[in-house]
Structure formats: C-alpha cells, structure tokens
Chain A
C-alpha cells in the first residue's frame, strides 16, 4: 500500500472509523517515521477536532473552572523536586515515598492533605514492585494519585486508572504515564454518580485509553470498608 492510499485510511482512523485490524498496521507505518503520513494524520485529526465546532459553544458554570483550578493548584504552589524518601519521615504524608517536596512544600502539602483520605495501591503480577497512594479529597471529590516504581508503558500503550464499584462496574478515571524514574501522578475528579467505589485499579491499555479495561491489572487498591 502506498502513502497516497493511506491518506483516506488516516482520515477514517482520525474519526474512529477503522477496525483495529486496519488501524494497527496503519499506525505502525506512521510510527515508523513516515513524515508524509504523519502530516496526513495531523491534518485528519485537525479536521476531526474541528467538526466539533459544528456544535454551538455553551458556557460551563463557574464551578467547573473553580474545580479545575482547585484540582491543579497543588502542583502550581508546591515546589516538588525528585529525591529519596527520607525527608518525608516527619511529615504526615510519610506514605508518599515517591516525590519529596521542599520543607515549604511539605508544610503546604501537609495542610492541604491533612483531611484527605489515603488509600494504598499495591503492584500485582506484572509489576509487584509498583506502589501508589491515592489522596482522596472527599469534600471536593478529587483524587491526587501518586505512583512509584512502575515500568514505563510500552510504545503505543498507556496506563489507565479505573474506578470499580461494588457491583463490578468499571469506569475510567483517566490515563497517565510515568517518567524514567518510574514515578507519575494524576489528578482525578470523581464522578458524582459513583455513590460508592470499592476498588481502584490500574491497567496498561492502548494509547488514549479504552472504554473498558482490556489489559492486566498492574496496581490495585481497596477503598471499601
């Protein structure tokens, strides 16, 4: 198949209109470094995104922005720096042996997370060395999740966090990647309609995430009592 032939397929792919068996080889070709097809894919994605402009814009209520800023404020004000875990020993958040803030950061974070519920996640079969902590700000409905000792996901793959309800319904909480040191973080807004979350789990999935988990569980933590 020539790159000219791939142009139409890339458009269909950008609109999620290709079957996986068609999309796989196409993406492999793009990732092999073909500049022409990479450009065509970018153009197709731009068209796909701009089709959404056919919908009239609607102002979200101010509370959405307030929630966004609250969820992202911690990383703006806390001066994180990578280091070993010893400096956290005196802090209330000793369990987070992932990233160590400066003393000012420790104090700010301690105050911020003092009321947060902390849930531990442990590595499973594929990654027994991995660990994570969920800081659950229940009044705001926000999770701050910090992971450590995870292997970087394979090319074309990502990690995906899941809310799992007592009746085993699995709802995506978002995707994330880890850096070279195996650490990562993700901020998650807990959906209001999830009255109870029994388990949090992380799986490895295709880039962009999937509606329902398909990969093996890498991390798991129990939230229910």
Chain B
C-alpha cells in the first residue's frame, strides 16, 4: 500500500473545502501539517521568528490561491512542503545569509517537540518519513551533502562547488545521480510510479 495516497485522501477533501472558503478546513490542514511546514522553514531559515512568518505565509498563500491547487499535480502535503521550501528559500536568498547558515546547521530542531496531529496523519507521515530516510541512506555521502545544500540551502551548483571545493561538473553529476538513485529506491518501495 502506498501510505502517501491514504494520508492524502483526507487532505484532498480539506483542499476542496479550503477552495470553497471554509476556514475550518484551513485550520484542519494547519493542525495536520504545520509541524512539517514549520520544521522545514526552521531548517532552512534557522531563525525562529522568520520561520514563524514563513509558515504563516505558506498557509495564507494556500488560502489565497487554493483554487490553483490541481489534484493531478501531486498530493496536498507535497504541494504544501514544496511551497514552504520555495518561500523559505526566497527569504533566505533575499537576505543573503547563506554562508552563516551552513555553519550553524543541525542545531535548531533538537530542543523542539513534534507538532501534534491526528493519529492517522502521524502514522502515515511517519511511514513516509521512514521510507524517505531509507532512500536517503542509500546515497553516497557526497551525493547526500550536495543534495542537502541544494534542497535546504537553496544553493546553485556553482555555489555548492565553491562550498565543497569541488569541480562544478562533479557537483552536477552528484546531484543528478543522487536524485535518480533516490527515485529508484522510492519506486522500488512503492512500486513504479506509485510515488505520485
């Protein structure tokens, strides 16, 4: 079974309700997924206040543009997290704090508690997280590091090459091969194409 589908079934209904201007549905989506969104924003921005603003912005944008969500383009949780990553990285780039952030990585989450959610959502999200961690564990350290810098720090290939002191072509190859390897592992777990 693909847990992503099961989790998203309820989320699709909530997204429809948000598009119909049901604020309770927005609150429900927030309760279910704000922990993941805030955790991601905090990971990228490394500043609590700014991560709070980014989290609020993401859900306001969901409200403002709910009619633009297309269920054929992916699951609501993925949509939310892609939106959160994009907005957080926009903030990061606009403030030019990338270098400092690389130094202080991995210390923000350790003192926080998980966000409360529903037991079903918690179970399904934990299952997705477990499969993802398995996929990431299959990457070579260099691939994983380059992907982290690209995904969580919004760095360009040339910036990653500079940060890691590696040739640009090596960085591009590692990112490409790392992504393909990760997809291959996820496809093997979910069945071909089931990640969608």
User: Which chain B residues lie closer than 8 Å to A196 at the CB level?
Assistant: none
Interface residue A195 (Cβ < 8 Å from any Cβ of B): no
Centre residue among B73, B89, B147 by max chain A CB count within 10 A? B73
Interface residue B196 (Cβ < 8 Å from any Cβ of A): yes
Interface residue B40 (Cβ < 8 Å from any Cβ of A): yes
- Is the beta-carbon distance between A59 and B113 smaller than 8 angstroms? yes
Interface residue A126 (Cβ < 8 Å from any Cβ of B): no
Chain B 26-37 against A: per-residue CB contact (8 Å), 1 yes, 0 no?
110010001110
User: Which chain A residues lie closer than 8 Å to B101 at the CB level?
Assistant: none
User: Which chain A residues lie closer than 8 Å to B43 at the CB level?
Assistant: 55
- Is the beta-carbon distance between B34 and A64 smaller than 8 angstroms? yes
Stretch at the interface among A37-45, A127-135, A214-222: A37-45
Q: How far is the CA of A192 from the CA of B53 in the complex (A)?
A: 8
A residues near B (Cβ < 8 Å) are 8, 11-12, 14-17, 38-39, 41-61, 63-65, 67-69, 71-73, 75-76, 169-172, 174-177, 185-189, 191-193, 208-209, 211-212
B residues near A (Cβ < 8 Å) are 4, 21-23, 26-27, 30, 34-36, 38-40, 42-43, 49-53, 55-57, 59-61, 63-65, 68, 72-75, 77-82, 84-86, 89-90, 93-94, 109, 112-117, 125, 128-129, 132-133, 136, 147, 150-152, 154, 157, 175-176, 179-180, 182-183, 186, 193, 195-196
